[in-house]
Amino acid sequence: MTTPRPTTNASLITNVRLADGRRVEVSIVDGRIAALGAALSREPGVPVEDGGDALLLPGFVEGHTHLDKTNWGLRWYRNEVGPKLTDRIENERRWRAESGHDAGAQSLALARAFLAAGTTRVRTHVDIDTDAGLRHLDGVLATRDTLRDVLDLQIVAFPQSGLLGRPGTDALLDRALGAGADVLGALDPALIDGDPVKSLDLTFALAERHRKPIDIHLHEPGEIGAFTLGLLLDRVAAHGMQGLVVVSHAFCLGALPERERDALLARLAELRVALLTTAPPSVPVPPLTACRAHGVTLFGGNDGIRDTWTPYGSPDMLERAMLIAMRYGLRRDDDLALAFDCVSGVAARACGFEAYGLQPGARADLVLVDADTLAHALVARPVRKLVVAHGRVVARDGALLAR
C-alpha cells in the first residue's frame, strides 16, 4: 500500500463566505481554482489556510490607470497646474524633463501597491511621445516582467501629447506595438488633434496592422464628443473591430439629449464597444442605468494616481468601486454590487483578461476581507487580510510578502 502523493502546487482555503452568504472552501491546484464548495475533500499533505470567516472576493481589476506617471511613494508633488487639458499635458512634459522621473521604478512601486490591495489585473496606459520615445514603455515592460507570476499587466501605447501634432508619433506607436504594447491608445481626435477623421483613420490603420485592440481617451464634451464618437463607431464597423474597442471617459454621454444619447448607446451595444469611467464627480459621466438598459458594458478605473495631473486615486479598487457607487447615487446593497462588478467581472471581460472569477478553472486570484457583506466591503474598504495571486499567497494584512 502506498500513501497517496499530495498534488503538486495544491492548497486549500477554508472558512470563507461568498457574497451571496454561502460558506465555502476553495481548492487551488496549479494556480487555478480546482473546486469551490462546502466541505471539500482534503488530500493529505495539502497546506490549509484558515480564512477566519472572511468574505471571499475575486482579485480586483484596474481598468484604466497610468502606472508610468505616478509619484507614488515619493515626496508630495505640489500641484500648481492651470485648468486646461493642454496645461496639464505641457506641465507634465516639462516636469518630466526636469525631474528625471523614472517610469520603471514608479510603475513597479504602484503595481506592487495594487497587488497588496488585491488587484491582480491592470490595464495601464503608457505615454509614448516624441520627447520620451519608448522610455516609459521600457520601464513598464520591465515592471510587467518583474511581476509576471502574480500580476497581469495590459499595456496601452498612449499618445498623451496627441497623434498628429508632433510628427513621428505614429512611428513611435508602431514601434511600441511591436515592442510589447497590447493595446493602441488614442486621445481626443477633434479637440487635441484638430482633425478627427485623419486622427481616427490613422489610429484604426495602426491597430489593424498590428491586430491590436483600441482604447481611446475621449474627454470631448457634449456635441463635439458625440460627433467624434459617431466617427469612431463608423470605423469600428468598417474595420470589423466589434468587441475590440474601449472608449474611456466618454463624458459626452453624460450631457446629451436623451434621444441622441440613446442612439449612440444602441450603436455602442451593437458594435460591442465598452465604456470606461473613473466616475469623476465634477463632470458628466456615461449614465449607468441607461448603459445597462441598452446592454452597453461600463467598467471602472482610477485614471492617474498621485501624479502631475491629479492628487487623487488609490490602488485600492474597493475605494474606486465605492466612488463609482456614490457617483451614480447607488444606496441599495444590490446596486452596490453593480459598482463592484465595474472593478471585477465586467472589467475583466471588457479588457479581455481571461480565466477570471471564482468558478472552477478560473485563475486563483483571491481576496479575503473582514466584512459582513459585499456592500460593507465597499464602504469600509478593510485592510486585505489575504491576497492570493496565481494560486499563491502574495500579501497578508495589507502588506506584500517578501518573494
Interface residues toward a second copy, by CB under 8 A? 75-76, 78-81, 279-283, 306, 309-312, 322-323, 326-329, 331-334, 336, 371-373, 375-376, 378-379
* DSSP 8-state secondary structure symbol assigned to residue 124: E
Minimum distance of a second copy from residue 169's CB (angstroms): 26
Neighbours of 113 (CB within 10 A): 18
Close Cβ partners of 115 (under 8 Å, ≥ 6 residues apart) = 147, 150, 151, 387, 389, 394, 395, 400
Reading the block at residue 104, the C-alpha cell is 520603471
> Which residue, 134 or 337, has its beta carbon nearer to a second copy?
337
Minimum distance of a second copy from residue 355's CB (angstroms): 31
Minimum distance of a second copy from residue 75's CB (angstroms): 6
Close Cβ partners of 60 (under 8 Å, ≥ 6 residues apart) = 117, 118, 119, 120, 121, 317, 318, 343, 344, 367
Minimum distance of a second copy from residue 178's CB (angstroms): 36
Minimum distance of a second copy from residue 223's CB (angstroms): 21
Reading the block at residue 36, the C-alpha cell is 469551490
Locate all alpha helices (DSSP H) within 239-305, ordered by sequence.
258-270, 288-294
> Which residue, 93 or 363, has its beta carbon nearer to a second copy?
93
Minimum distance of a second copy from residue 328's CB (angstroms): 6
> Which residue, 229 or 330, has its beta carbon nearer to a second copy?
330
Close Cβ partners of 167 (under 8 Å, ≥ 6 residues apart) = 130
Cβ contact 208:200 at 8 Å: no
> Which residue, 80 or 258, has its beta carbon nearer to a second copy?
80
Minimum distance of a second copy from residue 282's CB (angstroms): 3
> Which residue, 166 or 219, has its beta carbon nearer to a second copy?
219
> Which residue, 165 or 398, has its beta carbon nearer to a second copy?
398
Cβ contact 394:151 at 8 Å: no
> Which residue, 231 or 326, has its beta carbon nearer to a second copy?
326
Cβ contact 21:15 at 8 Å: no
Q: Nearest 5°: phi and psi at 120? A: -120, 0
Cβ contact 68:103 at 8 Å: yes
Cβ contact 348:328 at 8 Å: no
- Please give the Cα distance from 63 to 254 (Å, whole number): 20
Close Cβ partners of 95 (under 8 Å, ≥ 6 residues apart) = 101, 308
- Please give the Cα distance from 279 to 315 (Å, whole number): 15
Minimum distance of a second copy from residue 327's CB (angstroms): 5
> Which residue, 173 or 336, has its beta carbon nearer to a second copy?
336
